[in-house]
Chain A
Amino acid sequence: MENAIVVRDVTKRYKEFTLDHVSFQVPQGSIVGFVGENGAGKSTTIRAILDLIRLEDGEVEVFGLSKKEREDPAWKEQVGVVFDGGHIPQYMNAVETGRMMKGIYRQWDQEAYEGYLKRFHLSGKKKYKDFSRGMKMKLSLAAALSHHASLLVLDECTSGLDPIVRDEILDIFLEFIQEENHSILISSHIISDLEKVADYIVFIHEGRICFEEEKDYLLENYGIAHVAKEQAGRLPKSLVCGQRNSHFGCDVLVRDRREAKRLEPEMVIDPASIEEIMLYMVKYH
């Protein structure tokens, strides 16, 4: 199977927002970072992928299965989901959550679950509503990792966590992906996390996909040129993605920094981070 997830022309209309013909793929064995500002459509897209909402147009394939083939919920045994906020019943504790999941997932691995609880320092007896935000998220993640899933879908699960916890979690993702048939789709507006571990970056803005690209390609090619205004004007339009003007010059996001350097050898160009690419494409377009 080439792709764990295929999203094709997915369209969903709400009163104030439209998901407009969104298309991208999650190749098997990869980590895809799904980025965009708040309200761009990340969560809506993920809900579309998980069959939580009905679509006006477009289709989704998961594990190569069409929507009709996914009516039998057996495919969800392979999928571990973590939503922002956790959504585990607030009156349950970690031990009870494990027992509940055991009665839901056929391949529930109690040993693995307890291992994660220990690793995450989660108390078994504390009620979910008394957990901190980070702990809630870690518990959901522990549950998602304990039923032999081959696909993780994570929606904004690192927001509100401190860098140390986020680092721990990124390590776990890298461990998860050691198996060739494991894939992860992770949406976040904290780009720095994805910059480390993602293989592909899909950028969504106002309900449309702006780009779907190998992370390395983005980091190796895009650049921010710090130039005077006339210099900026000389750069070909096809190279420029965004421009920020200040009193003393401007910063230009270029698609190919080596090409730009070749055209204007005196120009100062720095490599662009994913965050800067996103910022320039959205704000300084």
Chain B
Amino acid sequence: MDIIISNANGKPIYDQIATQIKQLIMGGDLRAGDALPSMRLLAKELRISVITTKRAYEELARDGFITNVVGKGSFVADVGPEILKEENLREIEQKLEAAVDRAKAAKLSREEFLEILNALWEE
């Protein structure tokens, strides 16, 4: 399992880790039941704080991608299609929010924005 993090990325490190693990799960590289490295081991190998890996794992658990079992470790959950859909929706919402903010800052009207959206959908 390869996890690549960047300090210059701008995204918080726990977010980068969580996102990459989600992608590994969604892409099938990690399957339901697979054991994830312990939070402490991951922290040590990536040379980051345990608090960061803990937060990443907590987010993954909250979003239903993994389960954290006290005393045993963390395991990939049975990720059903609803969770995948929810994850995709979340990412889409995030990206759209950024676009909306930009549009508002550029003083675009709602109609002009929807026009762009429709044109892109047609492509």
Q: Which residue numbers of A lie inside 8 Å of B, CB to CB?
A: 29-31, 170, 174-175, 177-178, 180, 196-199, 214-216, 220, 265
Contacts and interface: CB of A to CB of B under 8 A. Distances in A.
19 contacts: A29-B50, A30-B50, A31-B49, A170-B47, A174-B47, A177-B50, A196-B47, A196-B48, A197-B49, A199-B49, A214-B49, A214-B51, A215-B49, A216-B12, A216-B49, A216-B51, A216-B52, A216-B55, A265-B105
A178 B49 contact: no
Contacts of B51: 30, 199, 214-216
Given A29-B50, A177-B50, A199-B49, A216 B44 contact: no
A178 B41 contact: yes
B14 interface: yes
Contacts of A175: 44
B37 to A, nearest CB: 11
B18 interface: no
Interface of B: 12-14, 40-41, 43-44, 47-52, 55, 105
Contacts of A31: 49
Contacts of A197: 47, 49
B44 A174 contact: yes
Contacts of B47: 170, 174, 196-197
Given A177-B50, A214-B51, A216-B52, 20 more contacts: A31-B49, A174-B44, A174-B47, A175-B44, A178-B41, A196-B48, A197-B47, A197-B49, A198-B49, A199-B49, A199-B50, A199-B51, A214-B49, A215-B49, A215-B51, A216-B13, A216-B51, A216-B55, A220-B12, A265-B105
Given A216-B12, A216-B14, A220-B12, A174 B43 contact: yes
Nearest to B43: A174
Contacts, number: 37
Nearest to B10: A271
Contacts of A178: 40-41, 44
Contacts of A199: 49-51
- Looking at A29, A196, A216, the one whose CB has the most chain B CB atoms below 10 A away is A216
A197 B46 CA distance: 10
- Looking at B12, B40, B49, the one whose CB has the most chain A CB atoms below 10 A away is B49
Given A216-B13, A216-B14, A180 B40 contact: yes
A55 to B, nearest CB: 30
Contacts of B41: 178
A197 B47 CA distance: 6
A152 to B, nearest CB: 15
A263 to B, nearest CB: 14
A174 B46 CA distance: 10
Q: Top 6 A-B pairs ranked by shortest CB distance?
A: A174-B44, A199-B49, A199-B51, A178-B40, A220-B12, A216-B52
Nearest to B45: A174
A69 B14 CA distance: 40
Contacts of A214: 49, 51
